[in-house]
């Protein structure tokens, strides 16, 4: 379960985001909201932040190029809820352990953000905000699902030089990032864009810069 947030126990750079996470409205995260009839594939992603030698950073993965869905895309660790998962928190931590070897005991879950919807795959995704209190080495555990893993500095994501918009073939235009050698777009970029704002890290950037979507695998 989500632990009660005691702000003073968190690193100073994470406190604003943790506080903002308490009272978010779903529309603050996405215009795509879960179907009112309860349909959709329940899933969760782990948005875990850590102190590193390059400053506050967030854990991201690159999905394998031959996956059926979201192939080759940069993402947060996560996936579908299994019958044995007690909660979205449990699913997000289990997936992170299976994908990159993240030790759940090293992580403190701070909040479950409102669930959002990915229309193209019918996933209803609960973003789980967490603090990686005791960072350790992570790696690709399941190459069938994950091609790479990186701790990406928040400062690099927030740098206006690394920000732009991306147009999906459907015509939808959304935020994008170029950081740590990764091209981040779609659902993950949308969440990162919101997290930068909620955390007080966002800087003005040129939203007229449009970059093409890289060729899909």
State the residue range of the domain holding 56: 7-154
Q: What is the pLDDT of residue 1?
A: 43
Any domain includes 195: no
Any domain includes 193: no
Total residue length of the chain = 217
What CATH number is given to the structural domain containing 84? 3.90.79.10
Q: Mind listing the pLDDT tens digit for each residue in 118-148?
A: 888 899 999 999 999 999 999 999 888 899 9
Q: Which helix (H) or strand (E) holds 118?
A: strand 116-118
Q: Mind listing the pLDDT tens digit for each residue in 159-204?
A: 999 999 998 877 889 999 999 999 999 999 999 999 999 999 999 9
Any domain includes 213: no
Q: Mind listing the pLDDT tens digit for each residue in 140-163?
A: 998 888 999 999 999 999 999 999
Name the CA radius of gyration of the chain, rounded: 16
The token pair at 81 is: 């809820």
Is 43 a residue whose pLDDT tops 90? Answer: yes
3-state secondary structure of 125: strand
Is 69 a residue whose pLDDT tops 80? Answer: no
Q: What is the pLDDT of residue 7?
A: 73
Q: Mind listing the pLDDT tens digit for each residue in 197-215?
A: 999 999 999 999 999 887 7
> 């289990």: which residue's tokens?
94
Q: Are 73 and 185 in contact (CB under 8 A)?
A: yes
Any domain includes 149: yes
This prediction has a pTM of: 0.93
Number of domains in the chain: 1
Is 112 a residue whose pLDDT tops 90? Answer: yes
The token pair at 87 is: 């909660």
Any domain includes 163: no
Q: For residues 173 and 170, what is the distance between their CA atoms, to the nearest angstrom?
A: 9
Any domain includes 174: no
């Amino acid at each position: 379960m989500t632990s009660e947030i005691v702000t003073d126990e968190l690193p100073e750079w994470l406190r604003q985001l943790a506080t903002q996470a308490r009272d978010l409205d779903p529309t603050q995260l996405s215009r795509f909201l879960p179907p009112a009839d309860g349909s959709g594939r329940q899933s969760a992603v782990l948005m875990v932040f850590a102190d590193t030698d390059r400053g506050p950073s967030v854990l991201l993965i690159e999905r394998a190029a031959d996956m059926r869905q979201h192939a080759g895309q940069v993402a947060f660790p996560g996936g579908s809820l299994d019958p044995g998962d007690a909660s979205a928190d449990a699913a997000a931590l289990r997936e992170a352990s299976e994908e990159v070897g993240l030790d759940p005991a090293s992580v403190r879950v701070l909040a479950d953000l409102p669930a959002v919807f990915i229309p193209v795959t019918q996933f209803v995704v609960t973003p789980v905000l967490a603090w990686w209190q005791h960072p350790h080495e992570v790696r690709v555990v399941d190459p069938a699902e994950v091609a790479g893993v990186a701790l990406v500095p928040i400062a690099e994501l927030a740098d206006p030089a690394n920000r732009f918009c991306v147009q999906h073939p459907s015509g939808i235009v959304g935020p994008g990032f170029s950081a740590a050698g990764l091209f981040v777009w779609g659902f993950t970029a949308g969440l990162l864009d919101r997290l930068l704002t909620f955390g007080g890290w966002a800087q003005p950037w040129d939203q007229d810069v449009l970059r093409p979507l890289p060729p899909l695998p």
